[in-house]
Amino acid sequence: MQGSANLNIMMKAARTAARGLVKDFREVENLQVSSKGAGDFVSRADIAAERTIRDMLMGERPNYGWLGEESEPVEGKDPTRRWIVDPLDGTTNYLHGLPHWAVSIALEHKGEIVAGVIYDAAKDEMFVAEKGQGAFLNASRLRVSDRHRMIEAIFATGLPFGGRPELPAVLKDLGRLLPATAGVRRMGAAALDLAYVAAGRYEGYWERGIHAWDVAAGLLIVREAGGMVGPIGAAGSIFDSRTVIAANSAIFDDFAKTIRAT
Ligand code: IPD
């Protein structure tokens, strides 16, 4: 695909940060972590990757704002544009030597995500989208699946860890979904869950208690692959409500009804 200058900068930053992450993967010294709360870790690798991405993106576009998982937000001179970055989505997988994690970079313009990049370095899978231009995996166009029967569908989610208050609602979601579908997966990287919905590998994804940096790029990629996204609750943007639901368009309504009944 012929991407914009911004998309090319984002892909380059994702690949550069991922090279460092791959180098450090399974290295003992990288297991030095600090905890932001029960089950919520930040490693040396997260911080180094965020610094790399931030230097590259802010170097190229010094006027844009910044929202990243591991550093203070920056209000840009151009208040209409900001980068939204998770330098290492799937930190817990990374720290356990599980090769399922990704770099996620989104560009927001006037409150809307206009470009998104998710790079899974372990599988060399680069998922990208720009608003109105479709979604791609490496050079191939992405389409959501067309499975519309709940009983044939699989869904991904993140389970609330460390005493998070969303647990009772998620257990209810699972109680409704498990008997009615082909199954639920919990792989541990929200950005990749969304990328996989866009690629038709899952029919849908939902999560309660998610952050903007985990899902900003993925939500655009799902939409550009022909899927639908929304908050779980009735009102507010996904970023305010911190709840998200995404699915192929054929199954979205049935899936959303099941989740919203909780
Ligand atoms: C986490 C992962 C996980 C999701 C959590 C996120 P992080 O992101 O995406 O799948 O269930 O809600 O916080 O902390 O590894 O960047």
CATH number at residue 197: 3.40.190.80
Is pTM, for the whole model, over 0.90?
Answer: yes
Q: How many domains does the chain have?
A: 2
Q: What is the pLDDT of residue 203?
A: 98
Same domain, 71 and 173: no
- Is 70 marked as binding a ligand? no
Question: Are 115 and 36 found together in one domain?
Answer: yes
Q: Average pLDDT, stretch 12-21?
A: 97
pLDDT-derived band at 116, boundaries 50, 70, 90: very high
Pair 156, 255 in one domain: yes
Confidence band of 261 (pLDDT split at 50, 70, 90) = confident
Q: For the chain, what percent of residues have pLDDT higher than 70?
A: 91
Alpha carbon of 55 to ligand 1 centroid (Å): 23
Nearest CA owner, ligand 1 atom 4: 158
193 annotated ligand binder: no
Which residue's CA is the closest to the ligand 1 atom numbered 11?
A: 158
Atom of ligand 1 nearest to the CA of 187: 10
Cα of 2 vs centre of ligand 1, distance in Å, is 31
Residue 235: pLDDT above 80?
no
| Residue 194, CB-side half-sphere exposure with 13 Å CA sphere | 38
Mean local confidence (pLDDT), 136-146: 97
- Spacing, Cα 190 to ligand 1 middle (Å): 6
The predicted structure's pLDDT at residue 70: 81
Last residue of a domain, one of 141, 168, 202: 141
pLDDT digits (tens, 9 = 90+) for 30-86: 556 666 665 666 678 888 999 999 999 999 999 999 999 888 999 999 999 999 999
**Which one of 141, 166, 183 terminates a domain?**
141
Question: Ligand 1 centre and the CA of 99: distance in Å?
Answer: 14
Domain that holds residue 242: 150-260
Condensed to tens digits (0 to 9), the pLDDT of residues 153-211 reads 999 999 998 888 999 999 999 999 999 999 999 999 999 999 999 999 999 999 999 99
Of the listed ranges 12-16, 68-72, 136-140, 181-185, the least confidently predicted one is 68-72
110/59 same-domain check? yes
Say whether 7 counts as a known binding-site residue. Answer: no
Task: Please indicate if the annotation marks 88 as binding a ligand.
Answer: yes
Nearest CA to ligand 1 atom 16: 89
**Chain mean pLDDT for the chain:** 92
Is 89 labelled a binding residue?
yes
- Same domain (yes/no): 12, 79: yes
- Output the ligand 1 site: residues, CB below 6 A: 69, 86, 89-92, 158, 188-190, 207, 210, 214
